[in-house]
Amino acid sequence: MRKYVAEPYKIKVVEPIAITTREQRQEAIERAGYNTFLLNSDDIYIDLLTDSGTSAMSDAQWAGLMIGDEAYAGSRNFYRLQDAVRDVYGFKYVVPTHQGRGAENILSQILIKPGHYIPGNMYFTTTRTHQELNGGTFVDVIIDEAHDSQNDHPFKGNVDLDKFQALIDKVGADNIPYICVAVTVNLAGGQPVSMENLKAVKELASKHGIKVFFDATRCVENAYFIKEREPGYSDKSIAAILKEMMSYADGCTMSGKKDCLVNIGGFLAMNDPDIYQRATQLVVVYEGMPSYGGMAGRDMEAMARGIYEAVDYDYIHHRISQVRYLGEKLADAGVPIVKPIGGHAVFVDAKKFFPQIPQDQFPAQMLAAQIYLQAGVRTMERGIVSAGRDPKGNHYYPKLELVRLTIPRRVYTYAHMDVVADAIIDLYQEKDKFKGLEMVYEPPVLRFFTARFRPL
């Protein structure tokens, strides 16, 4: 049997989950239009749709809820959150938001003017949508290796400095308000960015007066990979590495639903007092008072506590090891997955799994539906459906056509990982018999959430 890093916690509360028959799942997936986003949670055994807002909070976080100060302004829990962000991330100002995209909305409105270009290390769905809604154009400047699912570069999320420089030369630094660097890169497979690269990006950007904002959503996972892989960091604490990472940014957007270990919440943080002041003007329109944004006092308390728990080495070591256990089990059985195995998820390469299905017949969407049918395991398409359409109305054809098995933090056991692996390995044995899907309903933006499909 494969060796594993056992849990650094014990279980105090349990939540029963549904065990269903294949007939029940067939009915459920048809009702959901072959879109796993449209399944009811009650019909799911193991939910690997996302690691977002699905974490189990600790007893200390639950206890923190009881000291929520629900004042409309100046809640004490806001100050606790602000202190935690200053202490752990190192930014001076923080504006709480209801979740990550609330912070992306405010940042995009402040910094982007029509005609601007925003370079980034691969797009993320909500981030790019906010950039485009403000008249900006996203430009991918990630290294080429990131688009190759089999390349095992240790820092596959790195920014390609030549691509960044070429964009500056082409459109002019005046038309680039900031570069958005995601640590880690979700759609590349949860791949990290090296400290060396973060430093170099900051240097190049500063030389041209371009700001650097991190999408810090999974920054603790990024810090773990730096400790594991980058020379000079093995003896440093996760907290020290995280703080150094953040020193190469002017600010960040954060989805607290991931690496702050809470079910809801996020923030925008920065050092520039002018940007902060403009953020406080916008947050009252879209979220709430600057001292609560979109959050209840109790939720700010839970997030403040989660920020500290997340940088504990035993926590993050177990988390990354559990994801790796699932990935290695699949890879050992020959299932094509993205390598190296990332921080928050294992990504199955659907183009290689179902080579007979053309990309515009949605192989990853079909694979996600089949994994559900096989064992009640919910996963997510991250391919052509998620990529959406370009401004001319044509599909974007991303090189990566993936199904994401996203592991919630502190929620499932290794036995659950075995169930997931066995289901996918069994499906892989009969992969040749499957055909693709056609889309029968398509919403105008972020179509993957609500699109509906039918088998061909």
**Positions of E strands within 240-290:** 251-255, 266-270
Q: Contact between 129 and ligand F0G (CB under 6 A)?
A: no
Q: DSSP assignment of 386-445, as one string?
A: HH-B-TTSPBP--S--EEEEEPPTT---HHHHHHHHHHHHHHHHTGGG---EEEEE--SS
**Whose Cβ is closer to ligand F0G: residue 179's or residue 357's?**
179
Min dist CB 184 to ligand F0G, Å, is: 8
What is the number of other CB atoms lying within 10 angstroms of the CB of residue 145? 17
Binding mask 292-331 for ligand F0G (x = CB under 6 A): ----------------------------------------
* 9, 22, 72, 360: the active-site residue: 72
Q: How far apart are the C-alpha atoms of 300 and 9, rounded to whole Å? A: 23
DSSP letter, residue 71: -
Q: How far apart are the C-alpha atoms of 354 and 447, rounded to whole Å? A: 22
Binding mask 45-74 for ligand F0G (x = CB under 6 A): -----x-x----------------------
Stretch that binds ligand F0G, among 13-21, 95-103, 206-214, 415-423 (CB under 6 A): 95-103
Report the first-to-last Cα separation within the chain, whole angstroms.
Answer: 40
Q: How far apart are the C-alpha atoms of 177 and 182, rounded to whole Å? A: 16
* 25, 351, 382, 410: the active-site residue: 382
Q: Contact between 257 and ligand F0G (CB under 6 A)?
A: yes
Q: How far apart are the C-alpha atoms of 218 and 222, rounded to whole Å? A: 7
According to CB under 6 A, which one of 43, 47, 160, 215 is a site residue for ligand F0G?
215
According to CB under 6 A, which one of 93, 117, 124, 276 is a site residue for ligand F0G?
124
Stretch that binds ligand F0G, among 121-129, 203-211, 223-231, 361-369 (CB under 6 A): 121-129
What are the angstrom distances between the C-alpha of 57 and each of 61, 62, 264, 309?
6, 7, 11, 10
Active site residue 372: no
Q: How far apart are the C-alpha atoms of 139 and 141, rounded to whole Å? A: 6
**Whose Cβ is closer to ligand F0G: residue 189's or residue 340's?**
189
Stretch that binds ligand F0G, among 120-128, 136-144, 233-241, 428-436 (CB under 6 A): 120-128
Q: DSSP assignment of 135-203, as one string?
A: T-EEEE-B-GGGG-TT---TTTT-B-HHHHHHHHHHH-GGG--EEEEESSBTTTTSB---HHHHHHHHH
Q: Contact between 361 and ligand F0G (CB under 6 A)?
A: no
Min dist CB 123 to ligand F0G, Å, is: 10
Min dist CB 257 to ligand F0G, Å, is: 5
According to CB under 6 A, which one of 75, 99, 361, 370 is a site residue for ligand F0G?
99
SS3 452: strand
Active site residue 125: yes
Instruction: Give the number of residues written for the chain.
Output: 456
Q: Contact between 101 and ligand F0G (CB under 6 A)?
A: yes
Which tokens in the block code for residue 303?
């997030």
Stretch that binds ligand F0G, among 40-48, 96-104, 162-170, 302-310 (CB under 6 A): 96-104
Active-site residues, by number, are: 72, 124-125, 215, 258, 382, 448
Residues lying near ligand F0G in the complex (CB under 6 A) are found at 50, 52, 99-101, 124, 126-127, 182, 186, 215, 217, 255, 257, 266
